Chain A
Amino acid sequence: MGRRMLTAVVCSALLVSAALVSAGAANAGTAAKDPLGTKKKATGSVVTLGLVSDGKSDAIDNTPEIKGAQAAVKYANDYLGGLAGHKIALNVCETKQTPAGATDCATNMVQAKVPIVITPVSGQSGTIYTGVKAAGIPFLQYGSIDQTVLAGPAESVYVLTNGIGSALAGPAGVARDAGVKKVGILVTDVPAASGPVKAAAPLFYKNANVTPDVIVVPPGEADMTPQVQAGVSNGDGAFAMVGNAAFCTSAVKAIRTVGFKGPVIAIPQCVDSSSASATNGGYKGVKVLTATNTDPKNKEYQQYLAVMKKYAKGVETGGVAQGGFISIIALVKALPNLTGDVTAQTIEQGMASMPATPLPLGGGVTFQCNGQQVSIAKSICSTEVLEATYDAKAIPGKFKVFDTADLLKIG
């Protein structure tokens, strides 16, 4: 159970940033104007897209992801003219975070003959993808570090954000910029999490001329002080954390307990609404590599909050909800000129010819799913990530685009 939770979250890598947004943030802007922009109803025939989510289990609750996607569908149908004019509907399936559930969902999608399956993030993406690719259905993810997915052909697999960049390569760049020579990478000791780190870190870190020190932590470890201290004793000048909020809370506590002062780099799902109090302000100065600008002052972010307020009232707006939202909107933005029926073939043609497009909520990051972005993982649509720094309340600020292209080269 516990392992599955960690795997699910870790694997899903690139999630969105903190859930810590003050409620008032959405009220910015002019009261008179519709905060969602100008209405533009979808008028064409209905197209039903597949959405496979991990859903809810004892370990993890990803249902906001579904709510975020559903809100995005309503918003797109009301304000963005749907998917190239077609009214969008969703066929939702939950994996319950088991391989068997993922297989079932893939089978359901194939039987429903959906033109594309969207799985924003999942601990089971490999299984889902394997199931749908056999039927020739394209597969879109918000973020993934699943090797089967990343190895998939760029024509039919689209990973919007650069998970490798933010979880694996990015920290090396941040460390290099800070003048650090050796980085301790704290990761849960399950293959889905530690495998990519162990395999890929040496390659990318070499590009930054930084030595990786992979420190595996047994799943569910209560106190990580021994692991962190082992890293410090080993000469690590920075720490990168690859895990979910419970994992990173323990890691940050341990890092602060041993009095470590160097750079600490997190992935977005390291942080949730409990992080600030749980670590007693320990997140201050921690850098995060993300793909979503959640600065309360950011206009696009305010608009997202307004959409959620209108179409998914009461749903947690942080975390996975953003992934669900962005996946749908990105597809809509990538295919404005799709003509004829929405089928697997027309979607693939449209994606292959799309221009570089700003990623929804991306704070300047662009995506282009033409297979030309990252040579080692052609399905990734972007080389860029966003770097931000947490304050004591674990709210990210100082966003800037950070290009990982030079780190992702191999050979």
Chain B
Amino acid sequence: MDQHLIFLLLGLANGAVFAALALALVVTYRSSGVLNFATGTIALYGAYTYAFLRHGELLILVPGLPKTVDVGGDLSFWPATLITLAISALFGLLLYVLVFRPLRAAPAVARAVASIGVMVVLTGLMSQRLGTTPVSVDAILPTKIWQLGSVRISSDRAWFAVTILGITFAIAAAFRFTRFGLHTRAAAATEKGALVSGIAPDRVAALNWMISAAVAAISGILIAPIVPLVPISYTLFIVPALAAAVIGRFQYLVPAVVGGLAIGMLQSEMTYLRSRNDWLPSSGLPELVPLVLILVVLVVRAKPLPSRGVILQRTLGRAPRPQRILFPTVLGTAAGALTLVLLHDNWRAAMVTSLIFGVICLSLVVVTGYAGQVSLAQLTLAGVAGFLLGTFTTQWSIPFPIAPVLAALGAAAVGVVVGLPAIRVRGLFVAVVTLAMAYAVQAVWFHNSDYVPAEGKNITGPTFLGLDLRSRIGTDYPRLPFCLLVLTVLVIVAVGVAKLRTSRLGSAMLAVRANERSAAGAGIDVVRVKITAFAIGAFIAGLGGALLGYKQGNLTFDPFEILVGVGVFATAYLAGITSVSGGILAGVLAANGIVFYATQQWLDLGDWYGTITGVGLVFTVVSNPEGIVGPIHVLMERLRSRRLVPAEAPPAGVHAVEAPAPAPADAELLSLRDVRVAYGGVVAVENVGFDVAEGTIVGLIGPNGAGKTTLLDAISGFATASGTIRLGGRELGGLAPHRRIRAGLGRTFQQIELYDDLSVRENVVAGLAARARRRASAADLDRVLHLLELTDVAERPAGELSQGRRQLVSIARALIGDPRVLLLDEPASGLDTTESQWLGERLRRIRDSGVTILMVDHDMHLVLNLCEHIHVLDFGRLIASGTPATVKADRRVTEAYLGSTHAEPATVTA
């Protein structure tokens, strides 16, 4: 038999392990939206419970109670399994009630962080109660040996894979064909909708948590005969299992499970290839498999931009704008320096660790807090720089300031690679991809004894201009000069990150974080901003890694372990990942930092430390899903805003509608021919063609679903269309959205996609990215604000404005890009009649300033009064065109509205 085939088969057992956990991950995610890092630990708890029941004991994890209770004799397979499933289901219910129900409305990242807390607590409890002696479980499935040529395969491996597949199909069928499954899918799609249909989402969610915990337990039981149980047994399976879940897009059970099996089988094949080919890297090949698989599946298949209908969850807290930088910097630096001088020995070492982790956490503020990319690879990137620094200082003798900067640049290069997949995937998928990247880097590099010697990588220095800045000379450790160096780096990085927040690049990052689509609509090159964020973040993390290297003088993979990295992310998230102060606080709270050390010294928590930390983590997330620093910022802002202009003044007096606009110029500025958009088999826009003359306001109307927004998307590049779209004679077809915007289009969105954290002025500044033709001056900005009467609210956060004002801000953002044609998608939605009239007036002023407008709106009064020309769409086709009067008289138009179930006849006749 072919050796390759045999080795693929030999990988079935490992594959089935990943598949089993992937199954549990997907079931949990699909029903609750929680990326559950604790899945492996819940599975392990199930496995332990089962193992003890088979020996006639019921395991109790609650501290203080007896460890086990005799159940009167060893149980056989079925009773043990059923009791385990029941206990696990109850545990799932407990998790829901205590942790995930309070977090129902919290950001997805908060829920993932909570699951990390659950993992820590459960692991701590098991370790405390069960010790580290492996517990083993007898085979459950038949262990006949199958002879395949010269190779023997144990049948239980194959049966394991088959069983997992069987369970998967059963669960998939149950969700597909039962009422409960329907309710789950309904509740997952929209909680409100489910409520309206008489489904109790709460009960559905509770039941689903019970089911997913039970599924995790089944996985655990099936894995147990293969893997000896110790409290951390299953934690390392999380990366391949997550990769498998990603292959199923966290939605589809069968692809996830098949993906898990494939990972195990390909890893086995890699082992074989490695044993036959000396030129292959000696370490890490199997660990590359999950990464390569998810890259192939995710990146190749992902859509470049999310389409309408994708509900973009708010995932992170506000990123407040630093008001003053100098004062906190001076105060913080002084406090830090004083602390370092006063503390000695272990205390000072802990303080310096905190400062270094402050630097690393600030990298998370840039990547995650500003740009919205959840990166679990930052600690690994710090490690990249640390190990590079070893080579630079000991082998190449590069001197001090250059070596760490080069090392950080190296990390930045790796960071760009880590960030590349984020171009095509988003949200928590980015988290999984970065984790898989970290896992691969760690395996191929940090674990590889070809690159990292067994005794660790040595780092020498730093010395600078005769100053000895080394962290250790003899027993003098950590030396003050080194500590002050670390503080200096932290201060520089912190100021830099604060400056970044107020810079144009920072605004662009926040725009991308808030909404990629609207950022692209504002002319921001989303891809470049994301990659820049990853590069800057990695550079900062690299500086932190270099400092850690200097501090320890010798590095192994341990401080950069991927699960430690996940922990660092959780700490940063909790401390407040969106602000500089949060990043620094995260360093203070980091493992082995000053708070950690103080608690260890003052509170004799002993072995309970891990468990208590986990409980604290979960409690903090539940009570404060947006981090500790968040409420402080809110408070400070409230205090500050008292001193500012009180409330938003209502729009200044509404004037009578002005005289009709000057006659349209002849030049056809925007020209559409045979524009067609199809999604799969559904044609959304069918061969539409019309021209928009320069200096006019043109309306685009039609019933819901007629394809109006799709047509705007086609023009601005958010939807792939065939046909020709010309702007001032220039063909736009095939250009990316931000290039079309820069070519002279402006665009607003139906859901006003503002960046609520940014001030009105910053929101408008974000649109400056669109301005390719000439540089904008402050005067341009003031002119646009003035034109739309936004001057008085320019410094207020956009989130605080009324709906009408928000509309104007989004229009201002489009205008500052100096567009020739402005595409407005329902600018009057949510406005009352007066406001809408007032809006019409502003639009006319815009037109008079030389901007051509193509607008979609349902407010017929506005459209008929404002537009010189109107086009009517129905079912994707252009059914009528003409002046307001002709369109109003056209019977086809009335029919289109009346014939549609969602028609608004009242407004048509208005």
**Which residues from chain A sit less than 8 Å from chain B, CB to CB?**
1-5, 7, 56-61, 98-101, 103-104, 107-108, 110-111, 126-127, 130-131, 134-135, 146-148, 189-196, 198-199, 213, 215-216, 218-223, 225-227, 229-231, 233-234, 245-246, 249-250, 253, 257-259, 272-274, 277-278, 280
Residues of B within 8 A of A277 (CB): 136
Shortest 6 CB-CB contacts between residues of A and residues of B: A195-B454, A220-B236, A278-B136, A226-B268, A195-B449, A223-B13
Contact B132 A59 (CB under 8 A): yes
* B134 pairs with A272, CB closer than 8 A: yes
Known: A195-B453, A218-B287, A220-B236. A230 touches B275 (CB 8 A): yes
A222 and B561 in contact, given A126-B456, A216-B282 (Cβ under 8 angstroms): no
Q: Could you say which interface size class chain B belongs to? A: 35 or more
Q: Is the CB of A245 within 8 A of B228?
A: yes
A selection of 25 A-B contacts at a CB cut-off of 8 Å is A1-B235, A1-B561, A3-B447, A58-B127, A58-B232, A58-B610, A98-B592, A99-B558, A104-B349, A126-B456, A135-B475, A191-B447, A191-B448, A192-B455, A195-B455, A218-B443, A225-B157, A225-B268, A226-B271, A229-B7, A229-B10, A229-B272, A250-B226, A273-B133, A280-B138
Set of chain B residues within 8 Å of A220, measured between Cβ atoms:
233, 235-237
Q: Say whether B452 faces chain A, with CB atoms less than 8 Å apart.
A: yes
The minimal Cβ–Cβ distance linking A55 to chain B, given in whole angstroms, is 9
Residue of B nearest to A109 (CB): B475
Interface residues in B1-42 by Cβ distance below 8 A to A read: 3, 6-7, 10-11, 13-14, 17
Q: Among residues 247 to 296 in chain B, which have CB atoms less than 8 Å away from a CB atom of chain A? A: 267-268, 271-272, 274-276, 282-284, 286-287
A223, B271: Cβ atoms closer than 8 Å: no
Docked-complex contact B131 and A61, CB < 8 angstroms: yes
Check: B145 CB closer than 8 A to any chain A CB: yes
Q: Using Cβ atoms and an 8 Å threshold, which residues of chain B touch A280? A: 138
Q: How far is the CA of A199 from the CA of B3 in the complex (A)?
A: 30
B455 touches A225 (CB 8 A): no
Whole-angstrom CA separation of A113 from B446 in the bound complex: 36
Q: Given the complex, which residues of B lie within 8 Å of A127, measured CB to CB?
A: 554
A222-B349 contact given A2-B236, A250-B227, CB 8 Å threshold: no
From A99, A108, A126, B559 is in contact (CB under 8 Å) with A99
A2 touching B228, Cβ below 8 Å? no
Whether the pair B474, A223 counts as a contact (CB closer than 8 A) is no
Q: Cα distance A246–B234 when bound, in Å?
A: 12
| B70 interfacial by beta-carbon distance below 8 Å | no
Contact A110 B475 (CB under 8 A): yes
Which chain A residue shows the least CB distance to B3? Answer: A233
Residues of the B chain whose Cβ atoms lie less than 8 Å from the Cβ of A193: 454
B448 and chain A: residue at smallest CB distance = A191
Q: Are B134's CB and A134's CB within 8 A? A: no
Contact B133–A272 (Cβ < 8 Å):
yes
Q: Roughly how many angstroms separate A107 CA and B475 CA in the complex, as a whole number?
A: 7
Chain B, Cβ-Cβ closest to A125:
B455
Q: A191–B556 contact, CB under 8 A?
A: yes
With CB as the reference atom, state the residue of chain A lying closest to B152.
Answer: A259
A110 → chain B closest CB, angstroms? 5
Question: Most A CB atoms within 10 A — which of B124, B268, B276, B353?
Answer: B268
Given that A246-B134, A274-B133, A278-B134 are contacting pairs, would A222 and B227 also be in contact in the complex, using a CB cutoff of 8 Å? yes
Q: Is B175 an interface residue (CB 8 A)?
A: no
A338 to B231 alpha-carbon distance, docked (Å): 46
- Contact between chains at A148 and B455 (CB < 8 Å): yes
CB-based contact B563/A189 at 8 Å: no
Beyond A58-B610, A278-B134, is A189–B346 a contact (Cβ under 8 Å)?
no
CA distance A228 to B454 in the complex (A): 24
Complex: A127 Cα to B556 Cα, angstroms: 11
Q: Which residues of B contact A245 (CB under 8 A)?
A: 133-134, 228
A7→B558 contact, CB < 8 A: yes
How many angstroms from the CA of A367 to the CA of B394 in the assembled complex?
37
What 1/0 flags go to B128-150 for Cβ under 8 Å of A? Answer: 00011111101000000100001
The reply to whether A189 and B443 form a contact with Cβ atoms under 8 Å apart is yes
Which of B223, B275, B454, B475 contacts A215 (CB under 8 A)? Answer: B275
Contact A107 B453 (CB under 8 A): no
Query: Contact mask B572-607 → A, CB, 8 Å, 1/0?
Result: 000000000000000000001000000000000001
Task: Give CA–CA (A197, B286) in the complex, Å.
Answer: 20
Q: Write the B547-561 contact mask toward A (1 if CB under 8 angstroms, else 0).
A: 000001110111101
Q: Which residue of A lies closest to B283 (CB)?
A: A189
Chain B residues whose CB sits within 8 angstroms of the CB of A274 once the complex forms: 133-136, 228
Mask for B207-237, Cβ within 8 A of A = 1, else 0?
0000000000000000100111011110111
- Give the distance in Å from the alpha carbon of A219 to the alpha carbon of B827 in the complex: 57
The answer to whether B226 touches A222 (Cβ under 8 A) is: yes
Q: Tell me which residues across on chain B come within 8 A of A225, comparing CB atoms.
A: 10, 13, 153-154, 157, 268
Which residues of chain A come closer than 8 Å to B3, judged between CB atoms? Answer: 233
Determine whether the beta carbon of A189 is less than 8 Å from that of B127. Answer: no
Q: What is the CA–CA distance of A77 and B443 in the complex, to the nearest angstrom? A: 49
Give chain B nearest CB distance to A113 CB in angstroms.
Answer: 11
B335-368 with Cβ < 8 A to chain A: 345-346, 349, 353
Of chain A, the residue at the smallest CB distance from B273 is A230
Distance, CA A221 to CA B233, complexed state (A): 10
